[in-house]
Amino acid sequence: MKEFLFQIAEEEEGERIDKQLSLLIDPLSRSYLQKLLKEGRVFLEKGAGNRQPVKANYRVKCDDRIFLTIPEAVVPDILPENLPLSVLFEDDHLLVVNKSQGMVVHPAPGHYTGTLVNALIYYCQGRLSGINGILRPGIVHRIDRDTSGALLVCKSDVAHRGISSQLKDHNLERRYEAIVFGDVKSDVGTIVAPIGRHLKERKRMAVIADGKEAITHYRVLRRFGNYTYVECQLETGRTHQIRVHMTHIGHPLLGDNVYGNRKCPFNLNGQVLHAKTLGFVHPVTDELIHTEAPLPAYFEELLNSLSEKR
């Protein structure tokens, strides 16, 4: 169990305690701190042995002494599993895999087996970066379960730090291919719209005024009348960015049951989205690495079907 004690400064006075603590303790989220507050793990210290629990809406005062305890996380054993892996690039520091549609990237409640991390632990024999902890060893970025394609994995901590820096500076080349509803008017375009947690449906993301900056560049690859085959290049990497942005401009992805609002006439297992191209500067050798993940069979079959119906 970890224990923390903070004294509130004059310039911090008047802030909600959950927000203030989220600024003081990195990387704890505000929602997790609200959970600790609800569990009675956050106190005002009024003197030796005199601690009073506080609620999330308490507004801190200058010289308040805030005490909180954080329980140790209960982490399940992550077992190595001999699962199929399609490797696009590999050396002593990095691995680029072509993740299949339907595979969860890292373990989470309800998905402690069959994930990409389970497969990586087996394949790499434990040689993975430890920066993201036992649940996400080697994982520096991720793609959704029902999105396929190129994903970069770090074997060493030095590589992890270097790739993280490139991600932060938007220096990774990440190009996705998708099929969307409707006939996209412009052959090329850029969507600049901030993304944050949906105000009512907390499991979804949305374009909101106070969201984080999000920029997606797109170009049309082929038109099929009521559908358009597009390439999307990420300048930023927000959660569900392409899915949210394409829906925002009126062209949701086929098969997207979360953000799509149109009935899909095709039998699909999720959004038609594939991480095709991944390019980066190798953080150890400075070599420019360019990888491309071939389209999955279902994607190719869908393109052929749409071509035949034109």
pLDDT band at 74 (very low <50, low <70, confident <90, very high): low
pLDDT of amino acid 132 = 80
pLDDT of amino acid 49 = 67
Nearest-angstrom CA–CA distance, 107 and 110: 8
Q: What is the mean pLDDT of residues 193-206?
A: 90
The residues near 132 (Cβ < 8 Å, ≥ 6 apart) are 138, 139, 140, 160
74-169 has CATH 3.40.50.2300 classification: no
Give phi and psi for 182, each to the nearest 5. 85, 170
pLDDT of amino acid 308 = 85
Assigned architecture for domain 2-70: Roll (3.10)
pLDDT band at 48 (very low <50, low <70, confident <90, very high): low
170-310 shares the fold of 74-169: yes
pLDDT of amino acid 192 = 98
In tens, the pLDDT along 262-305 reads 888 899 999 999 999 999 999 999 999 999 999 999 999 999 99
Q: What is the residue extent of each domain of the chain?
A: 2-70, 74-169, 170-310
Q: Which CATH superfamily is domain 170-310 in?
A: Pseudouridine synthase (3.30.2350.10)
The DSSP bridge pattern shows strands 2-7 and 195-197 to be: unpaired
In tens, the pLDDT along 102-113 reads 999 998 877 789
Sign of the torsion formed by the C-alpha atoms of 138, 142, 143 and 144: positive
pLDDT at 119 over 70: yes
pLDDT band at 100 (very low <50, low <70, confident <90, very high): very high
In the chain, the percentage of residues whose pLDDT exceeds 70 is: 95
Q: What is the pTM of this model?
A: 0.77
pLDDT of amino acid 167 = 93
Tell me the catalytic residues: 144
pLDDT of amino acid 152 = 98
The residues near 308 (Cβ < 8 Å, ≥ 6 apart) are none
pLDDT band at 237 (very low <50, low <70, confident <90, very high): very high
Q: Which residue has the tokens 């680029």?
A: 96
* More confident position, 302 or 25: 302
Cα 270 from chain centroid (whole Å)? 17
pLDDT at 2 over 90: no
